[in-house]
């Protein structure tokens, strides 16, 4: 079966995806977007997509944002190294755990200052999600569109959530996927994405990891890990696509399907551009700041269609892949196929995510029960964000 799965990775690139992500010089018509990209589950970058947004000129000036949001209390996510919703060493075992950020309600001007001038061993990121742009940052709504018109017409709905992201070069997001059609607009700076199609799910080496959260003490400036009670396990990709040079060989031996398979699609989304990231695509994200000292983006989450493509994807995830089933990750997080540390073939259909994995409850995390046409589909996924 492994050889057939590997041939699928090549065939999907030969038949539809190619080797690079399409770049459009202007927004598509709704019909073109639906026919050429949504229906094919194929990403694209749209240049000159948001030239009318006042945000493009206003938000690169920190004083504008600080003044507009001078009295706004926002959810600031804090980590020691910019690795939130990621795998870190377990403090008392020779294994890994899944950790999410400490969330601190903070006045926006103070939050922005921490992002632009990060102190040692503290990385701040405004990434609350959960429709945060229309709640915590509603004063800025007139600076950009409430939705992407051609996307809304093509998808037949308005976005379920609109989110604001403000961070610096220290923050990055590990590989994950979402059950949303994602229109990701960069306002300042650049976002650097590594993308893999849903067909490559076996290359993610998804395992279950105990869930923890950072707790930050303002008194001594130290972080500690607090594990969830009752104990909870999060299915997550084991692959770090950008390991240190010294550990590259070891990582390649641990995860050969990723490092020896087709290269991920690499895209940089610049200010004024929009990335269409189809549902179920795995993505890893880094960022470079703009003139104002931070990277700013707004993204629109539209509900995906749980149609035959979704059924095909779940079937693909269920197929055994010997390189994964036989693989032993040194951290010892996969003991057997029946217990809480089940093998990846039992977990792939439960794996999901976005730029955060456990922080939000209403919009993004609690999607184990998805309402579609007034019927409840119980998904085989343990959603994180």
pLDDT of residue 364: 41
The domains of the chain, with CATH numbers, are 1-318 (2.60.120.10)
pLDDT of residue 326: 59
What pTM was computed for the model? 0.85
The string of DSSP codes covering 310-374 is: HHHHHHHHHS--HHHHT---TT-----SSSTT--HHHHGGG----S-SSS-STTTT--SEEEETT
All residues at 6 or more sequence positions from 266 whose CB lies less than 8 Å from its CB, including other chains: 192, 193, 194, 195
The tokens for 77 are 């996510």
3-state helix, strand, coil in the chain (%, to 5): 25, 30, 40
pLDDT of residue 317: 87
Contact predicate 126/74, CB 8 Å: yes
Mean pLDDT by 10 residues, the chain (385 residues): 82 95 98 97 97 97 97 97 93 93 98 96 96 98 98 98 98 95 98 97 95 95 94 95 92 95 97 97 97 96 93 89 57 38 41 42 39 33 32
């Amino acid at each position: 079966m492994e050889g057939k799965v590997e041939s699928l990775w090549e065939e999907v690139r030969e038949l539809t995806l190619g080797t690079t992500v399409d770049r459009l010089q202007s927004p598509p018509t709704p019909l073109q977007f639906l026919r050429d990209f949504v229906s094919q589950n194929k990403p694209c970058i749209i240049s000159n997509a948001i030239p009318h947004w006042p945000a493009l000129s206003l938000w690169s000036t920190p004083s504008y944002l600080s003044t507009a949001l001078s009295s706004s209390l926002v959810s600031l996510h804090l980590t020691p190294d910019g690795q939130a919703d990621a795998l870190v060493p377990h403090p008392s075992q020779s294994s890994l755990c899944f950790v999410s950020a400490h969330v601190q309600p903070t006045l926006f001007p103070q939050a922005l200052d921490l992002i632009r001038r990060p102190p040692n061993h503290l990385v701040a990121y405004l990434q609350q999600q959960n429709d945060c742009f229309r709640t915590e940052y509603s004063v800025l709504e007139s600076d950009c569109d409430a939705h992407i018109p051609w996307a809304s017409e093509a998808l037949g709905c308005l976005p379920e959530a609109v989110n604001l992201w403000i961070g610096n070069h220290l923050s990055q997001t590990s590989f994950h996927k979402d059950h949303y059609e994602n229109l990701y607009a960069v306002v300042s700076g650049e976002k650097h994405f590594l993308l893999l199609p849903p067909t490559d799910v076996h290359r993610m080496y998804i395992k279950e990891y105990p869930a923890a959260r950072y707790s930050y003490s303002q008194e001594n400036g130290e972080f500690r890990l607090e594990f969830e009670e009752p104990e909870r396990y999060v299915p997550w990709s084991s692959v770090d696509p950008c390991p240190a040079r010294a550990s590259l060989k070891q990582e390649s031996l641990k995860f050969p399907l990723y490092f020896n398979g087709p290269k991920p699609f690499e895209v940089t989304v610049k200010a004024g551009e929009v990335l269409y990231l189809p549902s179920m695509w795995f993505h890893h994200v880094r960022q470079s700041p703009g003139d104002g000292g931070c990277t700013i983006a707004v993204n629109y989450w539209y509900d995906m269609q749980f149609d035959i493509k979704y059924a095909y994807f779940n079937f693909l995830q269920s197929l055994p892949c010997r390189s994964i089933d036989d693989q032993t990750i040194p951290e010892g997080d996969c003991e057997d196929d029946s217990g809480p540390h089940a093998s990846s073939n039992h977990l792939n259909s439960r794996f999901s995510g976005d730029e955060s994995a456990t922080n939000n409850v209403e919009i993004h995390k609690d999607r184990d029960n998805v309402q579609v046409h007034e019927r409840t589909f119980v998904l085989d996924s343990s959603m994180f964000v």
